[in-house]
Structure 1
Amino acid sequence: MKLPFAESYKIKMVETIKRSTRKEREQWLKEANYNLFNLKSDQVFIDLLTDSGTGAMSDKQWSAMMLGDESYAGARSYYKMKEAIKNIMGFDHFLPTHQGRAAENVLFSVLVKEGNIVPGNSHFDTTKGHIEFRKAKAVDCTIDEAFDTVIDHPFKGNLDLIKLESVLSTYPKEQVPMIIVTVTCNTSGGQPVSMANMKAVKKLSEKYEIPVCFDSARFAENAYFIKTREEGYQDKTIKEIVKEMYTYADMATMSSKKDAIVNMGGFIGMKDANLWKQASTYNIMFEGYVTYGGMSGRDMNALAQGLDEGTEFEYLETRIKQVEYLGGRLEEFGVPFQKPIGGHAIFVDAKKILAHIPKEEYQAQTLGCELYLEAGIRGVEIGAILADRDPETRENRYPALELLRLAIPRRTYTNNHMDVVAVALKNVYDRRNEIKHGFKIIDEAPIMRHFTVQLQKID
């Protein structure tokens, strides 16, 4: 008999989580103005809002923290992080930042100007926000298959090379500061980009003399999918695959709160010494001195160790198989979600589940609130609220996909928790026709509104 799969770790410390009643959750959600970000963590039983900074660090990471050098300039921890980035990604130059959006802020302050065009594969909210804040335009060049949740394409994060070349051939190179390749592509469902596609994008970038930037938050998960899905990579290690991936990038931004498994931290990797020099000025202005950039020494140590652990196959297999487990349970129950299953989350197809609710009433947000009411489970909307308003017309943008993301923190929950999530979502799915209305916005920020938006239930 074949042995069942088991996690490649054992639990050393636990944290209590609290159950609540539906009546309590109804009151808390109302007080939060139906924005799940506004809930207190003690009001959530299983928190799948994000996998960013919510994972469990290893004993080796905690040990590394105890050896952190907190010197303001030239700390040993900085050089340990520098060595890890060089060994794993190959970048000669880097700047530490406190998280991924800070890395974008610093890098884009150098590169992105008013009127610029920035093509990529379904830019995530902070990326698009930093582009549009600078009065530039993000152009989505993702393959069409990504927007059909039923199609089982192995690399739905791929850029459509025809779409991309159309952008590059339309605008002068001075107007296109970079091509962004998000690995894995969060907005399209945590979907990976193939090595062949990265190589082809780099070839196009060289033809038009435009640099390539990898949004690298989940680069290791992307490498796992290359190993398991792309011909010719089955016998390569994750670290070998990562090394090749970054030969096709000129620079990278990284939220290390994902695949480096830390609670806080990020960085910019660069091959161009002159770009490093320009970005250093903004890093000092926004983040801190170039050898700490908003991070403590202990966090840099934990990040360096996490980069090493996060690029080991056994760890990645355990992590992604838990996401697959949840997807398998939902498949059993007939709940529609983005296929194939991505690396860090299940993206539930709210547009299919709540097709009777108008898109103007925010289907994915409605589904997220119903799941919270059902069992105290918090997900996040990846739909019209996150898509924000068009900067010019101020009209709502309605994306092709309206998704509820259930992001699984790394090494944090057991499969028993996944069973609770699956059954709770099944219960919501079974009573979907009883959900008559969604929400309207009563207050919103001018940009990246989904973090603080206030909603009112439509009766």
Structure 2
Amino acid sequence: MDDILIAPSHNALVVRPHISITAEEREEILRSVEYNAFAFPAALLTCDYLSDSGTSAMTDVQWAAMLRGDESYGRNSGYYCILDAFRDVFERGEAREYLFRDVLAGLADSGFYRDKFLKAHDGGFVNGGPMQLMRPNFFIVPQGRCAEALLFGTLGEIARGSGQASQPGKSGRDDITNMKPALISNGFFDTTGANALAAGFELHTFTQPGLMDPFPARLVNRENPFKGNLDIAAASAFLSQPDNASRVALILLTITNNWAASQPVSMANIRAASTLAKEYNIPLFFDACRFAENAKLIHDFEPGYGGNSIAAIVQEMFTFADGFTISLKKDGLANMGGALCFRDGGLFASKFGPDVGVRLKERQIMCFGNDSYGGMSGRDLMAAAVGLYEVTKENYLESRVGQVRSFAQKLVARGVPTLLPPGGSAVFLDMDRFFEGCGRSYAEFAALGFTLELLREYGIRAMEAGPYGWEWDKPGQTAQHKDSIPNLVRFAVPRNIMTDQHIDYTVQAIAKLFERRDTIPAVRIVRGKELLMAQDTRRF
């Protein structure tokens, strides 16, 4: 593997010392929480890779911005800052206006509010001024799964015939109300799928084949096959079948693909998905939680994009979308926040009716609060607004993606079976190869046993993202068939938190368990087997 020298992107100014604890004490605590790793106290861990959601260390500019936030119920300053941050990052490309800087510096006077924040905007993802009142299309929520619930819940009502039906498309049908509505995706994460199922949707996953195929370690720094892509041929074949297209409400592209080991989606695939969606008059939405990392991987590996800025790549990506949900707890560098938006005057509004924005706003207010804050504090709005700029800085992304890549390379050097190439946010162990020759079956949930042993012995928390996490033992609960579920363990790397010492300690611990993998215990579910959201609810 080629060595790439990556300069540090930041300095640490505050540290949090660890609490000393023995393996025996961790074992006692594990018993007390019924061996559910989600219930283990975070303060007693050495390294926590459970999630990269909301676990980032924010920048000094974000902390400064929080002091400029206000908690007014209606139209606080953070509301205006986050609206314009979305316009800057997702629409304007390199022509950003950075209006938050005037608020941060205390320079925003009455003229600034009149001329900038209250200016009419329409035609994009974020209407402004009176247009956001007349045709609302931007909705603040506490986190990404709230945006999913808001979107799928509202569309589910429409699909059941309680609202405006769709316009006719290529399918020749004029509504989606007389059959079970469906969603197509390159991969539904567990909360995404659960929200869609709860809203009455049928899920169809078409991930590009080859996720678990071997990839040469020597090419990790040079090439990327974009394993997170939507399988365009399979999705097209599904849509061409009688009545299928008429009941598909959305095509949802998850970027990066959190279901498929955080693998990126290429610009060519985004473009092809957009063409397919238009062919069948179906809106294309993004689950955009890790949009910046996806843009960085396009920059690094897709031909023709190496000379483009991250800002320009993000702008191009979102020209193909009719709307998107986002958790600002990932590529927003914030500890809280999310949003849903759709293109004003676009296919989404024409398909689901001109009042779809009003319906979404009503549900937003009922479930999360006034549209000015959507369940977020004014301080968190400011942090998230600034975070969108921070997360798209090229030196940050070089360090972020480079650390994840280095983590994977160190594991490979120790002989640990690791899915390659790594994505932008996490490293995944290939547990089929990890336990090869040990005679382990999926029903034993051996990968989950590995995560519990890693936590008990070394104080390292990771997440099983395979048969247990994707509910292999509950056929029919989700659209993913048993033979399509990857057998993985995820190490999601928190942003701006981990040092090389954390990574090296983790690599050594994993390698030690790999050496004695035949001794790792199996896991038996004793309570909650029938429940949704297995990771959070089951006990062993």
* Pairwise TM-score range, normalised by the shorter structure: over 0.9
Choose 24-33 or 185-194, whichever is displaced more: 24-33
Are positions 1:123 and 2:194 aligned together? no
Distance 1:285 1:89 in 2: 28
Distance 1:276 1:55 in 2: 32
> Which residue matches 1:278?
359
Could you tell me which runs of 5 or more consecutive residues in structure 2 were left unpaired when the two chains were aligned: 92-124, 127-136, 161-179, 346-353
Are positions 1:417 and 2:502 aligned together? yes
- Residue by residue over 1:424-459, the C-alpha shift from the partner in whole angstroms, topping out at 9 and shown as x without a partner, is 00000000022253333432462212212101xxxx
Distance 2:59 2:478 in 1: 48
Are positions 1:157 and 2:228 aligned together? yes
Specify the structure having the higher radius of gyration (Cα): 2
Choose 159-168 or 106-115, whichever is displaced more: 106-115
Distance 1:3 1:245 in 2: 27
Are positions 1:108 and 2:179 aligned together? no
Q: Are residues 251 and 348 of structure 1, via their aligned partners in 2, closer, same or farther at CA, if it must alter by over 3 Å? A: same
- Residue by residue over 1:72-128, the C-alpha shift from the partner in whole angstroms, topping out at 9 and shown as x without a partner, is 111121011000101111322311100000000001112234621111012100111
Shift of 1:15: 1.1
Choose 396-405 or 203-212, whichever is displaced more: 396-405
Shift of 1:269: 1.8
Secondary structure of residue in 1 paired with 2:139: strand
**Structure 1 length normalisation: TM-score?**
0.94
Q: Are residues 149 and 4 of structure 1, via their aligned partners in 2, closer, same or farther at CA, if it must alter by over 3 Å? A: closer
Distance 1:326 1:210 in 2: 39
Contact 2:55 / 2:494 at 8 angstroms: preserved in 1?
yes
- Residue by residue over 1:327-366, the C-alpha shift from the partner in whole angstroms, topping out at 9 and shown as x without a partner, is 1110111111211011001011122212422211113211
> Which residue matches 2:24?
23
Shift of 1:399: 4.5
> Which residue matches 1:132?
197
Secondary structure of residue in 2 paired with 1:421: helix
- 1:88 maps to a residue whose letter is V
Secondary structure of residue in 2 paired with 1:144: coil
Secondary structure of residue in 1 paired with 2:64: helix
Q: Are residues 209 and 54 of structure 1, via their aligned partners in 2, closer, same or farther at CA, if it must alter by over 3 Å? A: same
Secondary structure of residue in 2 paired with 1:234: coil
> Which residue matches 1:44?
45
Shift of 1:65: 0.4
Q: Are residues 441 and 317 of structure 1, via their aligned partners in 2, closer, same or farther at CA, if it must alter by over 3 Å? A: farther
Alignment of 1:430-445 (within 5 A): 430-444=515-529
Secondary structure of residue in 1 paired with 2:419: coil
Are positions 1:364 and 2:364 aligned together? no
Are positions 1:148 and 2:213 aligned together? yes
Are positions 1:236 and 2:321 aligned together? no
- Residue by residue over 1:238-264, the C-alpha shift from the partner in whole angstroms, topping out at 9 and shown as x without a partner, is 011000000111010001100111001
Distance 2:534 2:521 in 1: 25
Contact 1:146 / 1:156 at 8 angstroms: preserved in 2?
yes
Shift of 1:191: 0.4
Distance 1:452 1:212 in 2: 32
**Structure 2 length normalisation: TM-score?**
0.81
Shift of 1:14: 1.0
Secondary structure of residue in 2 paired with 1:146: coil
Shift of 1:148: 2.9
> Which residue matches 1:428?
513
Q: Are residues 269 and 393 of structure 1, via their aligned partners in 2, closer, same or farther at CA, if it must alter by over 3 Å? A: closer
Choose 157-166 or 356-365, whichever is displaced more: 356-365
Choose 365-374 or 414-423, whichever is displaced more: 365-374
- Residue by residue over 1:191-213, the C-alpha shift from the partner in whole angstroms, topping out at 9 and shown as x without a partner, is 00000000000001000000011
> Which residue matches 1:313?
394
Are positions 1:210 and 2:282 aligned together? yes
- 2:415 maps to a residue whose letter is G
Distance 1:419 1:354 in 2: 22
Alignment of 1:374-453 (within 5 A): 374-388=457-471, 389-391=474-476, 397=482, 399-444=484-529, 446-453=531-538
> Which residue matches 2:168?
none
Choose 440-449 or 409-418, whichever is displaced more: 440-449
Choose 104-113 or 179-188, whichever is displaced more: 104-113
Q: Are residues 281 and 288 of structure 1, via their aligned partners in 2, closer, same or farther at CA, if it must alter by over 3 Å? A: same
Are positions 1:352 and 2:433 aligned together? yes
Secondary structure of residue in 1 paired with 2:469: helix
- Residue by residue over 1:140-183, the C-alpha shift from the partner in whole angstroms, topping out at 9 and shown as x without a partner, is 11111124354785201101111111222223444111000000
Choose 393-402 or 416-425, whichever is displaced more: 393-402
- 2:323 maps to a residue whose letter is M
Distance 1:392 1:377 in 2: 31
CA RMSD in angstroms, aligned pairs only: 2.0
Distance 1:346 1:393 in 2: 25
> Which residue matches 1:373?
456
Choose 370-379 or 147-156, whichever is displaced more: 147-156
Distance 1:449 1:221 in 2: 27
Alignment coverage as a number of residue pairs: 454
Shift of 1:392: 5.9
Give aligned-pair identity as a percent: 36
Distance 1:72 1:437 in 2: 51
> Which residue matches 1:223?
295
